[in-house]
Structure 1
């Protein structure tokens, strides 16, 4: 049995913290573009920057692994808050409309798992970055 050295990383890496999604490849590219644009802004917190970079890596690697119309993506629920914030940031931009569809779909998980997601949200920024970089 391995020794748990980081409780938060262990807690948020459990399988019940993950969601399996199937996302249209074209919509995924649009979301990646939104992430690129948001990352180019210098005024985001360290944890948001880490989350957006990690989300972009997840999207790109999932897209490269499969060349079908829909891409399978396994995402940790810790990222839901960041996806919601990304949607709100670009809510007035039509070219990022796939964010609205993704956010609307993920609202069910946000509502059902509010306790676990809010528990992550109250952690300090350094712990969030450490957790996000390891999941």
Structure 2
């Protein structure tokens, strides 16, 4: 039997914290470009930087392993807040419309799991980074 060494990592890595999505590969590439831009030109906290880098890796690996025009993305719900914030940052930028569409679609999950996601948002920044690095 495994010993739980990090409660938060255990809690946020449970199956119920994941969403399975199918996203157009061109849209994923577009979102990756938005992630590149925010990582290179905007001040971000440690947890935001970690989340944006992990999202970029997730989207890139999903896009590269796709055999059709849609890629399967398995994303942890802890990233919903970061996608929403990214969408707000690029709200008026037409070239990142795919990000806005993804954020609007994920809003349903954000509302549905508001209690669980808000507890993650209230964690210490270092704990968030530790969790995001391992999910």
TM-score by length of 2: 0.98
Alpha-carbon distance in structure 2 between the residues aligned to 1:67 and 1:94: 28
Per-residue CA shift, 1:43-98, capped at 9, x if unaligned? 11000000000000000111111131000000000000000000000001000000
**How many Å separate the matches in 2 of 1:42 and 1:108?**
28
Q: Which position in structure 1 is the counterpart of 2:116?
A: 116
Structure 1 residue runs of 5 or longer lacking an equivalent are none
Moved runs in structure 1, 4+ residues, more than 3 A? none
Aligned to 2:79: 79
Q: Distance in 2 between matches of 1:42 and 1:59?
A: 20
SS of structure 2 residue aligned to 1:22: strand
Q: Who is 1:5 aligned against?
A: 5
TM-score, normalised by the number of residues in structure 1: 0.98
1:95 matched to 2:95:
yes
Q: CA deviation at 1:42?
A: 4.7
How far apart, CA to CA, are the structure 2 residues paired with 1:3 and 1:65? Answer: 33
Structure 2: runs of 5 or more not aligned? none
Report whether the alignment pairs 1:133 with 2:133: yes
State the partner residue of 2:67.
67
Task: Figure out how many residues of one structure are paired with residues of the other and give that number.
Answer: 135
Shift in Å, 1:41: 2.4
Residue 55 of structure 2 corresponds to: 55
- The residue aligned with 2:104 is 104
User: Are 1:16 and 2:48 counterparts?
Assistant: no
